[in-house]
Amino acid sequence: MRKGITLLLSMTLLINLSGCISKTELNQLQLITAIGLDYAKDGVILHLQVTNPGGIGTSDNTQSPETNALPVYTYSYKAKTILKALREAESNFSRHLFFHNVGYLVIGERFARDTGLEKMTDFFARFYQIRHNFPVFVAKDTTAQKILSLYTAIEANPSTKLEGQAKNTSGSIGLTEWIELEQVLDWQFSKTRQVVSYGVKTREEISEDEEYESSNGNKKTFQLTGLPIFKNAKLVGWYSVRETRAWSFMQNRTEESIWYIAACPKGKGDIGAMLPKVKTKIIPSIQNGQLTYTIHVKGKGILQEITCGYPLSDPATYPKLNQALEKSIEKDMHDTVKRAQKYSSDVLGFGELLYQEMPQEFKKREKQWPKNFKQAKVIVKADIRISSPGSRVKSIHEHNK
């Protein structure tokens, strides 16, 4: 009897099931791979890079031979606000816009300078359909549309190219952790820290030889630049690549090996070293009434190149090479701090550090923190040791003597 009742109830429940009412099939979704924002006099220009299912199979940067279509397309919409531009975009597609696959956000330089990040911050902080764990770029000397529309020689998808570069920047600008949208939003709401993000620009031509025009990889590509510096949500300046590397050291974002080049102690030439482990500790203090930050940098290096005639077989050479690397790192860090102080923009997190280590002192200085940050004294102490000469001890300079 009980089995009969159980069976009857089960059948009744199955009949009443109606499935997922609000479900959306995969072929009803329009995947958004990247977003761009550009300046408009009375609003904003929103760019959406969308996937083209018919062109995804192509392996180069040209049109698919079967469908005669590109793997992604970029659509642009001008409106007073980002939301209005998005609503206009929705009316142009037959599929539902799907933002969970966004790989990065690009902001045009003029938008960053003139419009600023406030509109962007408010929209993305509230927009529930988008993740916050993708990198943010500012397009140096160009527009977001130009970056999104650039098909490179190797990667068919511009978003794959730029996202990959952000992951592999440890050797060039030292960043081994993404500067994600979530961090940009957090810094924007912070009272003690200003915003930085990635920088990107189109690469200049190296050769104009018509014979190699078809295989010239420099013609259509872009590269990462130094970090853009913001103050009160607007772009005010740029770090150089060396200063960006120093910023990475100070933020302890160099978990992997990075390349570093310093001038030889005497004469012409350079020392190139790979720095696999660099750790930085910043200590705030008050010295004779002066707010002071002492930056301790410690690491080991592996020699990769030397173009000055120092005998590597002589143990007395290495202290000189160590000192040259230390002086170069110290100078780069001082330059990095000075550039931020020039704009009174604490992109280094000095205010956060003072709040954590000396909260009462920070409270005294909080209302005039930009002024206090600009006047802060910085001492840099680097301790770098070359632990290996690389694969060869004797250099070519010694061999030719």
How far is Cα 376 from Cα 333, in angstroms, rounded to an integer? 14
| Contact status, residue 254 vs residue 246, Cβ threshold 8 Å | no
Q: β-strand 198-202 against 234-238: which pairing, if any?
A: unpaired
Across 341-367, b (16+ Cβ under 10 Å) vs e yields bebbbbbbbbbbbbbeebeebbeebee
Q: Where are the alpha helices (DSSP H) in 155-292?
A: 158-167, 181-189, 241-250
* DSSP letter assigned to residue 171: T
Higher pLDDT, 364 or 6: 364
Q: Would you tell me how many other CB atoms lie within 10 Å of the CB of residue 171?
A: 12
Q: Would you state the pLDDT for residue 401? A: 57
Stretch among 67-81, 92-106, 157-171, 368-382 having the lowest mean pLDDT: 157-171
Structure confidence by residue, pLDDT tens digits, 94-118: 888 888 889 899 999 999 999 999 9
Answer positive or negative: Cα dihedral of 63, 64, 68, 69: negative
Higher pLDDT, 163 or 375: 375
Please tell me whether residue 353 adopts helix, strand or coil conformation.
Answer: helix
Q: How does residue 219 score in pLDDT terms, banded at 50, 70 and 90?
A: low
Q: How does residue 211 score in pLDDT terms, banded at 50, 70 and 90?
A: very low
Higher pLDDT, 25 or 364: 364
How far is Cα 166 from Cα 170, in angstroms, rounded to an integer? 9
Helix 118-126 × helix 82-90 angle, to 10°? 50
DSSP E strands: which ranges in 62-172?
A: 72-79, 96-98, 104-108, 136-139
For the chain, how many residues are written?
401
Please tell me whether residue 327 adopts helix, strand or coil conformation.
Answer: helix
- The label of the residue with tokens 């990065």 reads 104
| pLDDT > 70: percent of the chain | 76
Judged against a pLDDT cut of 80, whether residue 246 lies above it is answered with yes
Q: Would you state the pLDDT for residue 237? A: 97
Structure confidence by residue, pLDDT tens digits, 259-306: 778 888 776 788 888 888 889 999 999 999 999 999 999 999 888 888
Q: β-strand 43-51 against 29-40: which pairing, if any?
A: antiparallel
Q: Would you state the pLDDT for residue 26? A: 59
How far is Cα 250 from Cα 242, in angstroms, rounded to an integer? 13
Q: How does residue 159 score in pLDDT terms, banded at 50, 70 and 90?
A: low
Helix 118-126 × helix 181-189 angle, to 10°? 120
| Contact status, residue 147 vs residue 49, Cβ threshold 8 Å | no
| Contact status, residue 312 vs residue 303, Cβ threshold 8 Å | yes
Q: Would you state the pLDDT for residue 27? A: 64
| Contact status, residue 301 vs residue 273, Cβ threshold 8 Å | yes
